Structure 1
Amino acid sequence: MSSFKRKSAKHSGTLPGTRPSPGSVATLLTSTGIPSLDDVLGGGLPLSCSLLVAAPDPHSSYGELVQKYFIVQGLVSSQDVLLIDDNPLDFVKGCMWTTSDLNCKVFGEEEEERSDERIKIAWRYESMKQFQTTVGQSIANTENFCRAFDLTSRIPDSVIQRALYSKQLEVCDVTSFQSTALVLSEVVSRIEQILASRSKTTPLRICLPALGSPGWGDSSSEDLLHFLRRTRMLVRRHTNACLSISLPPHLSVEDWSGRGWIEKIGWSTDALITLAAFTANPSMTSLFPSHHGLVHIHTLPAPFTFLPPSDKFSLLRGLSAAADSSGSGENNLAFKCTRKRFIIETMHLDLEGGISERRTNPSSTAREFTGTKLIETSGERAGVPKAGLANVEVELEEEKVRAEQSTNPTAPVSGKGSTQGQAMTETGVPSRRKVNKPKKKVGFQTDRPDVYDF
């Protein structure tokens, strides 16, 4: 019997709600609550790293929605949660909760429920995999890493009270501090105290839904950058903690504090993602009706590595597939918020011409003339009764002149052509003269160059 034993790493007790990173076994990942966002980050948010979400649209609150997913995922995964906000209890009460069926299969189940009939095109294509624009959730559920949440359901009050009583959920109201000028310093001190008092065997999620909002007092750009750097260094020293922050709309624009503001906050955090909604841009809404905004990736977490693991393991970004097949590069990402969930997917164009096919119908008064015969075609096709149309007879002037000359060559020609088209000679014989027709004039309008006046 052989004494050979396969060399393998020692399996230590993993923290609840975490899994090893595919790029480095020494890095543990925790879920943000959104499987597609986990895929963009490289499998999840690494512990000892910080995530910053910017949402520049003032008419929506997608940044706060991401933080709600972050909070409820921690409560479901038996992790500790620290919420810092100007009204933290109301924010928790507005969070979503898990679905009735915890084994939710895929994210596209809403589309499957709409169509009960199965569309068949050809038998040879039945075994092919359907086209998917986002990642599924069945794999995540089997590992109890990321749960399925329903936006139509709210977190029960009993769950909140139980979490507050057991200290699993701890809230910090920034309006309770005495000095509004030192709110950021007080928050950093509060985070240090909680990190020192918590157990190292339980992950701690630190959530700031609206950093720099009016409830935080007046803060300059230097104060915010210094706060982001200090909190990132605090999380780096504790391998069981992670940080998620969202900026209000007025702080998420590029020119809030001069040029390069987004780049500065990207350098102060481990990951920075912008959710640019289409709410204030009707042209983008009409161009991409199936999406609610674009996803801009500025920085991604890369603990213990030079390159982010997302470059190799993210399916939505498509960099690994592009490198293997010599592709064109990274995919464009967009997000949409359906009735039940928030999804990040690859951006794609809809059907050509939009959701409705463009048709050009012929005019109802169009007719075809052949000599003196009248042919009505479009009126009958449009359903207009034949008796309702006026009978119009058209005769050409040249044919009338030739008919009169053939019957009586010496007789003058009556009509418009007798005065303009002919003149009498001294012998009484009509003579033809070439009539100079007036030149057609075309007038152009300066304000509307596409309209011509003849």
Structure 2
Amino acid sequence: MSFRKRNIGLSNNTESTSKPSPSTPKVQVPGVRPSAIDGRPVTSTGTASLDALLAGHGGLALGCSFLIEENGATDYAGALLKFYAAEGVLQGHHVHVLGLPESWGRDLPGTARESSRVKDSGTSGEKMKIAWRYESLGQFGAGSTGSRGPPPRQPPLGSEASQPPTERLYNHTFDLTKRLAHPSETSLTFHPFSQTPTPSHSPFLAIINGLKDSINANNSIPHRLIVPSLLSPLLYPPNASQPQHLLSFLHSLRALLALNASTKVLTIITSIPLPLSPRNTGLTRWIELLHDGVIELSPFPHSTDTLFAASSQASKAAAAAGDEPPQGLLKIHKLPVFTDRASGVRSEDGGDDWAFTLSRRKFAIQAWRLGPVDGDPGEEAEPGGTHSHGDEPREGKRKKGKKAEGMDF
């Protein structure tokens, strides 16, 4: 039986052998936050609805590439590229643009500020409810001079609470009618192609070397690469469509994405016009395989746009809310999924049926559901909520009955 006193350690050395070292605060990179799925660093594409669609990570993970395919002669993908570039400029990232002139950077959309009409209307409504003799007392609990609530304690000067917040927004809202005011420290680099290309020389070799040198020189900030309208003859030289040059360029980009295994800093968004490079060709299939995510934009034809807008429940709900009707369908071919939990698309959210709308201020992606056409004489609702497709309308039955009675008479 032990007569040892309580609360006394067995060993003489009761002090801890090692003291916990003070934790060093992590440096937060502007425009980068951890994923909600697995904590990997992600950055915004400049479009909130597209960030929400990227496998649940809330953005494009660093070290990943994304491909936007577009049908028709529209330029919805170009708007997404501008949002992606404008977001990088505002966050202080190094933005690289392939094949476009420098005037493209001056046409980036500016940020859309919310109007203060709602705030003004709210304050005016409160003033209407308060009698004029009590306006000088201020609002209850406002903490200002003459208010009925105790003033809050002001933190001492120099403390952390008294410092203004310096955190930047993760995702901005852009207005296509405005022009972006570039900050003083803007890193926007344009990589033009050679004016005298040769068939045997790759037009992408100098661009790859420039990207590699830029990333190695400054790998503390994220880099964004924009590859617009891949294989378009308006931007790319004739020998750029040769498979030995194009596939080598895409493999080199994959190597740049994994250049820093511990801290990846590069993200890539590419757009390709499908009328010039259809998906049934082998070269386009290789382009899709060498990207982590692939989506396809299929705008509605002009002749059937009104028909789709009038017959869909999503369009009716958007019209009731004051929004614009969907302008096309969005198909998801591949998402940058890294874990089993990051499914990104759920069946109750619309599955593979998605529609997009490009307005003045945003690019919105929503679930697409095609409802029944109103005024269809061949369908009649029954008390159980089902439609009788095989039965004939009552008016038709009555007409046939009258005709039969006349023949019997």
Judge same fold: TM > 0.5, yes or no.
yes
Distance 1:226 1:33 in 2: 29
| 1:245-290 CA-partner distances (Å, limit 9, x unpaired) | 11134344223x35xx55432211111111111136x346522452
Unaligned runs of 5+ in 2: 1-15, 17-22, 119-166, 311-324, 379-409
Corresponding residue for 1:153?
178
Distance 1:78 1:143 in 2: 10
| 1:13-39 CA-partner distances (Å, limit 9, x unpaired) | 1211010011222x1000000001001
Secondary structure at the residue paired with 1:206? strand
CA apart distance, 1:57: 1.4
Corresponding residue for 1:191?
211
CA apart distance, 1:12: 1.8
Which of 27, 38, 53 is the matching residue for 1:40? 53
Corresponding residue for 1:51?
66
Secondary structure at the residue paired with 2:102? helix
Taking structure 1 as reference, are residues 333 and 196 closer, same or farther at Cα in structure 2, changes over 3 Å only? same
Write out aligned runs for 1:237-252 (5 A): 237-238=259-260, 239-252=264-277
Aligned pair count? 290
Secondary structure at the residue paired with 1:145? coil
Distance 1:270 1:335 in 2: 21
| 1:364-389 CA-partner distances (Å, limit 9, x unpaired) | xxxxxxxxxxxxxxxxxxxxxxxxxx
Contact 1:16 1:203 in 2 (8 A): no
Contact 2:65 2:269 in 1 (8 A): yes
Corresponding residue for 1:234?
256
CA apart distance, 1:293: 1.2
Contact 2:65 2:267 in 1 (8 A): yes
Which of 86, 101, 111 is the matching residue for 1:98? 111
Secondary structure at the residue paired with 1:88? coil
Corresponding residue for 1:172?
191
Contact 2:88 2:94 in 1 (8 A): yes
Distance 2:205 2:116 in 1: 43
**Greater relative contact order (Cα < 8 A, sep 6+):** 2
Corresponding residue for 2:231?
212
Taking structure 1 as reference, are residues 301 and 277 closer, same or farther at Cα in structure 2, changes over 3 Å only? same
The one-letter code of the counterpart of 1:173 is: P
Contact 2:296 2:332 in 1 (8 A): yes
Corresponding residue for 1:342?
363
The structure 1 segments of at least 4 consecutive aligned residues displaced by more than 4 Å after TM superposition are 102-105, 175-181, 357-360
Distance 1:177 1:13 in 2: 45
Corresponding residue for 2:346?
318
CA apart distance, 1:240: 1.3
Taking structure 1 as reference, are residues 278 and 195 closer, same or farther at Cα in structure 2, changes over 3 Å only? same
The one-letter code of the counterpart of 1:18 is: V
The one-letter code of the counterpart of 1:300 is: L
Secondary structure at the residue paired with 1:225? helix
CA apart distance, 1:353: 3.0
Tell me, yes or no, if structure 1 residue 28 matches structure 2 residue 68.
Answer: no
The one-letter code of the counterpart of 2:189 is: E
| 1:302-348 CA-partner distances (Å, limit 9, x unpaired) | 3xx34472x1xx4xx325xx5xxxxx982511111123321111112
Taking structure 1 as reference, are residues 82 and 228 closer, same or farther at Cα in structure 2, changes over 3 Å only? same
Distance 1:102 1:78 in 2: 26
The one-letter code of the counterpart of 2:90 is: V
Which of 331, 344, 347 is the matching residue for 1:296? 331
Contact 1:97 1:153 in 2 (8 A): yes
Taking structure 1 as reference, are residues 104 and 47 closer, same or farther at Cα in structure 2, changes over 3 Å only? farther
Which of 60, 73, 97 is the matching residue for 1:83? 97
Q: Which has the larger radius of gyration?
A: 1
